[in-house]
Structure 1
Amino acid sequence: MIRELIVVEGRDDTVAIKRAVEADTIETGGSALNEMTFRKIALAQERRGVIIFTDPDFAGERIRKAIAARVPGCKHAFITRDKATANGDIGVENASPEHIREALSRVKSEMGAFQGTVLSWTDLIEAGLTTHPGSADRRMRLGELLGIGYCNAKQFLKRCTAFQISREEFEDALTHLYREIEQAKHKEEQ
């Protein structure tokens, strides 16, 4: 049983979570968060802890940000769009139990002051994660490898800091990404 309550968007997400793990959920009812929902989430955070597990789309990110701003200290689970898409519909409810368990095993916590080496905008440019052709695809895969989900370059840098991604973790994931790219190029050449 997962100790924390998992915040999801709707009833179908709850069903998908319960197929994958034994856990309690709080449903936001979509993006129309109300004061009662925020109070429930705050109480859950105080008593058991909270994992925010919203859809990997614009609305899901908006909900995630709103909750994190109002209820500090929440943990975050991310699932990639490809693992949460079925018949053109994107949502946690479409993910397999295996993919949900994988996302929950890689939960990230926002922490206070970061003691490690903070990544910079220059690091993202040099890594080809912004201002380069294909940077969105590289950022998507790197976000998956780091377990922080997909986002634009500015949010990627913020998440790396908020979730205390060390320079070593970043460089290891980047090395893995470049290896995948080289392998794909090698296959195309054959």
Structure 2
Amino acid sequence: MKIKEIVVVEGKDDTIAIQRAVNADTIETNGSAVNRETIEKIKLAQKIRGVIVFTDPDMPGERIRKIIAQHVQNCKHAFITKNKARPKNGKGIGVEHASDTDIREALKDAQIMEVEAEEQITKEDLMNAGLIGGDRAKPRREKLGEKLKIGYTNGKQLYKRLLMFQITKEQFYHALEEVLQEEME
């Protein structure tokens, strides 16, 4: 599988994992302190071939994603769940631990995050769905993020990400219905 866009990852191990799974070029941010030179490289890559941001499903990965989204318009974003990013020994978390299949799937499902989106889903919708507060909220958000292919978030981030990806109420409730159905099984 050949990827036209350049994939932005955190480090060398991520590059090795991406290139093991697909034929792609990468730009490494070398951690969460994304410098001006790296941003300029990403801007150039976006202009010429397009960019897919594929960072770890943790706080530093989210920080990198936000920095890039602020400076580089219309990047695609690929997400992987924490479960799929854990090594067999359970220590650490990262794209480099994901299987080739999971990496290919995440890259195939990459989407553009729209920063200016109309509000379609309300915070009240999230509360009513049991996605904020309560002992089932975290696993529900995890499953919902997986179904909508927007990655895992805390409650506050979920609201912002739903807006950024312009998830409609119909898409939201369809995915939520699947999550709730799986809970009953």
| Global fold match (TM > 0.5) | yes
Alpha-carbon displacement from aligned partner over 1:13-70 (angstroms, at most 9, x marks no partner): 0110011111110000111211110100011111111110000111111111111111
In structure 2, the residue matched to 1:95 is 98
Q: Which runs of 4+ in 1 moved over 6 A?
A: none
Partner of residue 158 from structure 1, selected from 157, 160, 164: 160
Unaligned runs of 5+ in 1: 184-190
Distance in 1 of aligned mates of 2:100 and 2:174: 28
In structure 2, the residue matched to 1:41 is 42
Q: How far off its partner does 1:113 sit?
A: 4.8
Q: TM-score, normalised by structure 1?
A: 0.92
In structure 2, the residue matched to 1:21 is 22
Distance in 1 of aligned mates of 2:116 and 2:140: 28
- Structure 1 SS opposite 2:4: coil
RMSD, aligned CA: 1.2
Distance in 1 of aligned mates of 2:117 and 2:9: 28
Say whether 1:175 aligns with 2:177: yes
The number of residues matched between the two structures is 182
In structure 2, the residue matched to 1:56 is 57
Distance in 2 of aligned mates of 1:66 and 1:107: 18
- Structure 1 SS opposite 2:127: helix
Alpha-carbon displacement from aligned partner over 1:95-146 (angstroms, at most 9, x marks no partner): 000000111121111236546x700000000100002222011101100110
The percent identity for this pair of structures is 53
Q: TM-score, normalised by structure 2?
A: 0.94
Q: Decide which structure has the larger Cα Rg and report it.
A: 1
Partner of residue 104 from structure 1, selected from 103, 107, 114: 107
Partner of residue 147 from structure 2, selected from 145, 148, 160: 145
Unaligned runs of 5+ in 2: none
In structure 1, the residue matched to 2:4 is 3
